[in-house]
Amino acid sequence: MKLTGKKALVTGAAGGIGAASALALAAEGADVALIDLHWNNRPGNPADAIRGLGRQALEIPCDVSDPIRAGDAFAEAVSALGNIDILVTSAVYSDREFFHKADLQEFRKTVEISLWGAFYFLRCTAQHLLERKAPGSVVLISSPHAHVPVPSCMAYNMSKAALDMMGKTAAIELVSQGIRVNMIYPGWTDTPGERKFFTELTLREAGAALPMGRLMRPDEIARGVVFLCDPASESVTGTILSIDGGTQLPWWSKRGSGQF
């Protein structure tokens, strides 16, 4: 129970990496405010599982790309839980098309949710912790897309690249106050969001071709979140933790040459 007494806020918490992170934090003793756009008719609601662990779980509907609503949602979480010690930003949106043909509304939506949504909650959390003169931990769920220019993903690529620099800058600005900011690079992870672009068959076949022979699981990423939020990791800040099953190693470029 590394996080007993801690209060966490997780965005994008209704499913995938966000839900797994919220549940993992609760399993270590944290009460959790879960932020997502919609909560109605969600199967496998993580809030129910968190309450089953004896922890508080607060479901807050919020469009993270709206700065006013983001601020109100943060204030609602503080009011209900008493304070916030941990922030995990996992809310994300992506649309795939070559940039010169992309729908600009979808392009902007990707940036506004994936980058600006994380910024609004990072800013609220920093202000809250500084006002309390309290230490805290922030984990931004980033992506290898930050440094790999995957075609048809320009908005997502540039959002994650900016997210990394945002996190590193926040880390150096806040380190003297005991507030840590880190990023995680998940590998290709089996989440509901992948079904927007790929069929189940495609995901199985693609997973089999990866170094570990499968996609990552959300709970594996969540274990990294717990490590970074653990007070015992107090010297870890401004870093990027890759949990990718080896997909950023040079194997990918060599695979076509018959070496793998």
State both tokens at 160: 């994650």
Catalytic residue among 93, 120, 156, 185: 156
Contact 137, 86 (CB under 8 A): yes
Q: How many CB atoms lie within 10 A of CB 68?
A: 9
**Backbone angles phi and psi of 92, in degrees to 5:** -155, 155
Contact 50, 29 (CB under 8 A): no
Q: Inter-axis angle of helices 104-111 and 154-174, to 10 degrees?
A: 20
**Burial (Cβ within 10 Å: 0-12, 13-18, ≥19) of residue 52:** exposed
* Active-site residue, 185 included: no
SS3 content of the chain, % helix, strand, coil (to 5): 50, 15, 35
The Cα 101–Cα 2 span in angstroms is: 48
Residues tagged active-site: 156
